Structure 1
Amino acid sequence: MKKLLPISTVGSLPKPTWLSTPQKLWSPWKLEGDQLIEGKQDALRLCLHEQQLAGVDIISDGEQTRQHFVTTFIEHLNGVDFKNRKTVRIRNRYDASVPMVIGEITRQKSIFVDDAKFLRKQTNKPIKWALPGPMTMVDTLYDNYYKSREKLAWEFAKVLNEEAKALQDAGVDIIQFDEPAFNVFFNEVNDWGMATLERAIDGLNCETAIHICYGYGIKANNDWKKTLGSEWRQYEEIFPKIQNSNINMVSLECHNSRVPFNLMELIRGKKIMVGAIDVANNRIETPDEVANTLRKALEFVEIQNLYPSTNCGMAPLPRNLARGKLSALSAGANIIRKELGV
C-alpha cells in the first residue's frame, strides 16, 4: 500500500561548509576540478542520508550540485553571456546583476542528468528533481536577442523539455518546475506562462509538479510580503489555469503565510505539496504546529493527494536548523497518520 502523507522538500537544502560558504545564495565553490566533482557527490550522499534520518519519503538532491536554482541551468545553455552582465529588477522586488541573452538558446548536452543518475543509484525511494520554469528563467536575465519575454520563454521551454525527458530516463520520479514568477506576473501567466510550462512537460510520463512560493527568507522577499495585506490571494489568479493544465502536483506556501487555505479548492483533484515549514525564520516548528497546518489543508485536499513539505528552499539556513525543521515535518505528519489510523 502506498504511504499516505509522503514527506518531501520543495527546494534547496544547506550545503556542507567544506563545499561552499554557508547561508548564502550564489555561494562560490571551495573546491575545483575533480575535487569539486567528488565533493558534490559527497554532498549528495550526505544530503540523502540526512533526509532519510529526518523521515523524508521523496528524496531530492537539495540542489547540492548547483549554486542557484535558476542560473546554474542557464550557465550550460548556448546563447547566454555571463561575462557582460546587466542589472535588472527581478520579480519587481530587487535588483540583481544577471547574464545577457545574446543569441539563439540551445542545449548542447545534459545538465543535471549525471547528478540524477548518481542519486538514483544511492536510494530505492522516489526521487524528485527541480528545474527552473520558463517564466522564472526569463525573469532572471537580460534579453538582448529575442526582445520578447514570450518568445524567450518558448525557447527555454524547448530546452527544459529536452532536459526533463533525459532526467526521466535517468530514473527521476517527479520533475518539479520552480515558478515563483507566477506569483507576480498574473497576466503573463494566463497569456503564455502556463502554455510554455505545458511545452516544458510535453511527452513526459513521470509525475510533474509546479512550485510557486513567496521566495527564500531573504530581506527583499520578506519586505515584499509585508506589502501584501492581511490575505495573500495571488494563487487565486493562477490556480484556475493550473487546474486545467497537465501538471500533476502543485506546491504552495501555507505555514506562517497569509494564504487562505480555501484557495486549494481551486485545484481540488491535483496532488498538493502543502508547505508546513516556514523557511523564512530561525525557529524549528513543533510537530503539533505542522500537524495543525496539515489538518487545515485536509479540509480542502483528499488525504491521498496531500504531500507535506517545506514552503520553499532552505539553502540560506544553518544545516542543524534545516535538519530540525525536516524532522518536525515528519513528526507532524506522523501525528496526522495516527489520528486517522493510517
Structure 2
Amino acid sequence: MVASSVLGFPRIGGQRELKKTTESYWNGKVDQETLVNKGKELRSTNWKIQKDAGVEIIPSNDFSFYDQVLDLSLLFNVVPERYLKFNLSPIDILFAMGRGLQRKATETTEAVDVTALEMVKWFDSNYHYVRPTFSHSTDFQLGKFGLKPVDEYLEAKAQGIETRPVLLGPISYLYLGKSDKDSLDLEPLSLLPKLLPVYKELLSKLKEAGVTSVQIDEPILVLDLEESVRSLYKSTYDELSSVGLDLVLTTYFGDVRPNLDAIKGLNVAGFHFDFVRSPEQFDEVAEIVGDKIFSVGIVDGRNIWKADFAKASEIISKAIAKFGEDKVIVASSSSLLHTPVDLNSEKKLDATIKDWFSFATQKVDEIVILTKNAKGEDVSAEFAANAASIKSRTESSITNNPKVQSRLGEINESLSTRKSPFPTRLESQQKKYNLPLFPTTTIGSFPQTKDIRVNRNKFTKGEITAEQYDDFIKKEIDTVVKFQEEIGLDVLVHGEPERNDMVQYFGEQLDGFAFTTNGWVQSYGSRYVRPPIIVGDVSRPKAMTVKESVYAQSITSKPMKGMLTGPVTCLRWSFPRNDISQKLQSLQLSLALRDEVNDLEKAGITVIQVDEPALREGLPLRSGKERSDYLNWAAQSFRVATSGVEDSTQIHSHFCYSDLDPNHIKALDADVVSIEFSKKDDPNYIQEFSNYPNHIGLGLFDIHSPRIPSKEEFIKRIGEIMKVYSANKFWVNPDCGLKTRGWPEVRESLTNMVDAAKYFRDQY
C-alpha cells in the first residue's frame, strides 16, 4: 500500500529548547551531560509526534546540535588539524568548527584560539551549513568521534520506533565542500575513491544495527553539473548498494531533469523528487524510475501554506496509476527543517489567516491525510475543510489591495536609475563628508543585551508606556553613539536597539504581513529567526525608522547611517506568498522602501544603508532565463528603493555568507557595498572584486564567532587586500551586524579594527 514519509523534522524544539540549552552550555551554565540529554529529549519528542500522527517512514539522524553537514565532517574525521591540538571533546570540536573558539589558559586547561570554518547558504534557503574543508592530508575515518547515525537509529528503536536514517550523499558532500587554503590545487571530488569505503563502512554498521532502508540525499542534482560530476553517480551507487541496504536517493529544491542521465538506471531502491518546487518534471522523472520506489514530495517543506489537497492528490493518483500502490510514497518535498514546529502554539494569530497556515506538525498530518486518501480511506471531511480554507485565502480582501497593484504600473526605467553616474555622485559625496582613507563603519546592529530584550518585552506586554520605552531606546542609542565616537569610527550607526529582527521589524510596520509568536526556524547554529509571513499586497502606511535615525544624528556631528533591509531580503527572509510571483512581491516591497529612503533623506539622514544579504540566496539554482530574469528584477527592486535621492546622498548595501559574483552587485549601483570576507581564504576572491567600480568593504572579522581578532591580525588581513585593491576605494568594517555578540567582544574587536585602519592611513 501507499506509505507516508517525512524527510526531516525541525530539531529546535517547540519552545526553542535546543537554543536555550546549547547557549547555556557555551556560557558554562550547564554541563555536557545536560546538553546531550536535551538532544535525546528533543529527538524522542520529534519521533513521537510523527509516529502518533501515523507516519510510516520516520527519519533519524536529522537532528544536530549545530548543522547536519558539519556532523558528517566530524563523523568522517574531516577535521582540520588546527581543531585537534587542544584535547577537546567531540562536541566541543564540532562547536569550534562551527563558531570558532577562543579562551584563556587556566590552571588545568591551555589557551585555545581557532577560527570557524566557512559558513554558506544551503542552496537557495536561509539555512546556513558549515562547508566541509578538505586538504591533501584529509584522512577519512569512521568512528573516531562517534557513530551518530547508528546511535540515533538505535535510540529510536529502543523506544519502539523504526526509523529510516538520513545521510547526505558522498557526491553532494564533496561537491559542497572546498579545499583548504594550503591545498588549493585539490579538487574535493578527487577524494571520492577514499571516501566511498568509509560510507560503505557506515552503511554496513547501520545494517548490522537493523536498518533496512536509508534516505541518501543528493541535492546537487538540481544544480548545473558538469559531465565529470554526473558520470560519478553510477559507479558510486553500484558501490554503496553492494552493502545490501535499500537506498532511496533523494533530491529536492528544484528540477532534476537536466541531470536525469546521471541517475537513470542507478542501482538504488527508489527515488524522491520535489513536486512542490518543480511539478512540471513529473512525466520525465517518472520515466527513469522503472520498477523502483517513487517518493512524491508533495507537502511543502519550505513554506507555511497549507497543501492544496485537491491538487496534491491529483499528482499522487498519477503516480499510483503509473507505479502501483506498493511503489508510491507520499512525502514532504524536503526536510521540514525550514518550517516552524507547531501552529497550535500560535494563540494570537487572526483566526482567518491562521487557517491558511501549516507548520511542521501540521504538515505531518497533511502527509498522513493525503496517504489515507490514496489508500481509499474516508478523509472527505478533511478534504472539505482544506478546500474551504484554500478558497477563503484566494478570495480574501487581506490578500488583494488594488491600490498597491495599481502603483506597480508606475515603475519604469527612470524610477530605477540614480540621477547621475557614480563618479559624479562620488565627487559630491567626498565634498559633503570629507572622509579619510580607509573610512571605518559597522554594518548596523550593536549587541542586543538582556536589558534591551527585557524592556522590549515589558513594552510589548504593556508593562511600560510608549514614552518610557522611547526614553530607554534613546539611552541605548546614546551609549552606542558615544562608544563609536570614542574609538574613532567615521560613519556611525544608531545600533538598532528598537529592532527585534532585520526583517520582522519592517514587516511589523508594513501592511500585508502576518506574524507569529513561536514560529521560529533555525538559520544556523543557535541563531533562530521568526520569519514574517507575506499574506497580501505590501504597502507602507507610515515612516518606520526616521524617528530613531534623526535622534541619533542629533547627538553627533559625524555621518549617521539610516539602516534599512532591502526588498529582496525582506522577501527571501519572510515566508513569501505562493499565489503571485516573487518578482511582484519584491517590487511591492521596493516601492514601500523607496518611500522610507526618501523620508530619511528629507529628515537629514543622507547616508542610507539598504542591506541585501539574501541577494545571492535568491538566485535560481540553474543558469538560464529564470536566473537572468531574477538578476534583472532583483537589481531593479534595489534601484527602485534607492534611486529617488540626490547625488550627495550615499547609498550603502551589505551582503554576507554567499558566493557572490561582482556582476550581481554591480547592477545595484550602490555607492558603497560591504561583503562578508573573513572566512574566505582563497586569494582569488579578493582578485574577483578588485575591479569593482564603486567603493567596497571586505568584512574583516567574523561576527558569528566569539573570538576577538588582534590589531596585528587586522593589519595582516588589510595588507593582503591592499596587494590587489585600491586604497582610495576600500572601507574597513566587520562581516555583519553585531547584535549576537557581547559588549566586551565588540569593544575590543572594533577598537582593534579602527586602530588597524589608522595604521594604514599613516602608510598611504
> Is residue 283 of structure 1 aligned with residue 716 of structure 2?
no
Q: Which moved more, 1:246-255 or 1:305-314?
A: 246-255
Q: Which moved more, 1:328-337 or 1:245-254?
A: 245-254
**Inter-partner Cα distance in structure 2 for 1:242 and 1:145:** 27
**Cα deviations across residues 27-60 of structure 1 (Å, max 9, x unaligned)?**
9544532221111111111110111122211000
- Secondary structure class of the residue paired with 1:250: strand
Aligned to 2:636: 195
1:186 to 613, 619, 625: 619
**Inter-partner Cα distance in structure 1 for 2:579 and 2:585:** 6
1:10 to 443, 460, 463: 443
**Cα deviations across residues 209-247 of structure 1 (Å, max 9, x unaligned)?**
120012xxxxxxxxxxxxxxxxx7x112xx213224421
1:265 to 684, 687, 690: 690
Please report how far the alpha carbon of residue 160 of structure 1 lies from its aligned counterpart in structure 2 after TM superposition: 0.5
Please report how far the alpha carbon of residue 272 of structure 1 lies from its aligned counterpart in structure 2 after TM superposition: 0.7
> Is residue 241 of structure 1 aligned with residue 664 of structure 2?
yes
**Cα deviations across residues 234-284 of structure 1 (Å, max 9, x unaligned)?**
112xx21322442111111222334621121241x2111221122122121
Q: Is the 8 A contact 1:158 1:200 kept in 2?
A: yes
Please report how far the alpha carbon of residue 297 of structure 1 lies from its aligned counterpart in structure 2 after TM superposition: 2.1
**Inter-partner Cα distance in structure 2 for 1:4 and 1:68:** 32
Structure richer in helix, relative to its length = 2
5 Å-filtered alignment, 1:55-70, equals 55-70=488-503
> Is residue 306 of structure 1 aligned with residue 749 of structure 2?
no
Aligned to 1:169: 602
- Give unpaired runs (5+ residues) of structure 1: 22-26, 215-231
Alpha-carbon distance change, 258 to 181 in structure 1, aligned in 2, over 3 angstroms: farther
**Cα deviations across residues 284-306 of structure 1 (Å, max 9, x unaligned)?**
11111111222222234322211
Q: How many residues align?
A: 313
Q: Is the 8 A contact 2:593 2:641 kept in 1?
A: yes
Q: Is the 8 A contact 2:610 2:654 kept in 1?
A: yes
> Is residue 47 of structure 1 aligned with residue 488 of structure 2?
no
5 Å-filtered alignment, 1:101-116, equals 101-116=534-549
> Is residue 339 of structure 1 aligned with residue 763 of structure 2?
yes
Q: Is the 8 A contact 1:84 1:99 kept in 2?
A: no
Aligned to 2:583: 150
Question: What amino acid sits opposite 1:285 in the alignment?
Answer: P
Aligned to 1:228: none
Q: Is the 8 A contact 1:63 1:69 kept in 2?
A: no
> Is residue 122 of structure 1 aligned with residue 555 of structure 2?
yes
Question: What amino acid sits opposite 1:274 in the alignment?
Answer: L
Q: Is the 8 A contact 2:516 2:530 kept in 1?
A: no
5 Å-filtered alignment, 1:12-91, equals 12-20=445-453, 28-31=456-459, 32-33=464-465, 34-83=467-516
Please report how far the alpha carbon of residue 185 of structure 1 lies from its aligned counterpart in structure 2 after TM superposition: 2.5
Aligned to 2:739: 315
Structure richer in strand, relative to its length = 1
Aligned to 1:327: 751
2:655 to 193, 212, 215: 212
Q: Is the 8 A contact 1:13 1:313 kept in 2?
A: yes
- Secondary structure class of the residue paired with 1:182: coil
**Inter-partner Cα distance in structure 1 for 2:505 and 2:677:** 28
Please report how far the alpha carbon of residue 159 of structure 1 lies from its aligned counterpart in structure 2 after TM superposition: 0.4
- Secondary structure class of the residue paired with 2:717: helix
Aligned to 2:340: none
Alpha-carbon distance change, 146 to 110 in structure 1, aligned in 2, over 3 angstroms: farther
Q: Is the 8 A contact 2:690 2:726 kept in 1?
A: no
Question: Higher relative contact order by CA 8 Å / sep ≥ 6: 1 or 2?
Answer: 1
Q: Is the 8 A contact 2:445 2:496 kept in 1?
A: yes
Please report how far the alpha carbon of residue 89 of structure 1 lies from its aligned counterpart in structure 2 after TM superposition: 8.4
**Cα deviations across residues 170-220 of structure 1 (Å, max 9, x unaligned)?**
222321122121232234551421111111112122111120012xxxxxx
**Inter-partner Cα distance in structure 1 for 2:468 and 2:735:** 33
Alpha-carbon distance change, 196 to 120 in structure 1, aligned in 2, over 3 angstroms: same
**Inter-partner Cα distance in structure 1 for 2:740 and 2:686:** 27
Aligned to 2:303: none
Alpha-carbon distance change, 248 to 300 in structure 1, aligned in 2, over 3 angstroms: farther
* Bigger radius of gyration: 2
**Inter-partner Cα distance in structure 1 for 2:528 and 2:499:** 22
Alpha-carbon distance change, 104 to 256 in structure 1, aligned in 2, over 3 angstroms: closer
**Inter-partner Cα distance in structure 1 for 2:531 and 2:730:** 37
Q: Is the 8 A contact 1:84 1:100 kept in 2?
A: no
Question: What amino acid sits opposite 2:708 in the alignment?
Answer: I
Please report how far the alpha carbon of residue 324 of structure 1 lies from its aligned counterpart in structure 2 after TM superposition: 0.9
Question: What amino acid sits opposite 2:763 in the alignment?
Answer: E
Q: Which moved more, 1:203-212 or 1:143-152?
A: 143-152
Alpha-carbon distance change, 162 to 90 in structure 1, aligned in 2, over 3 angstroms: farther
- Give unpaired runs (5+ residues) of structure 2: 1-433, 621-626
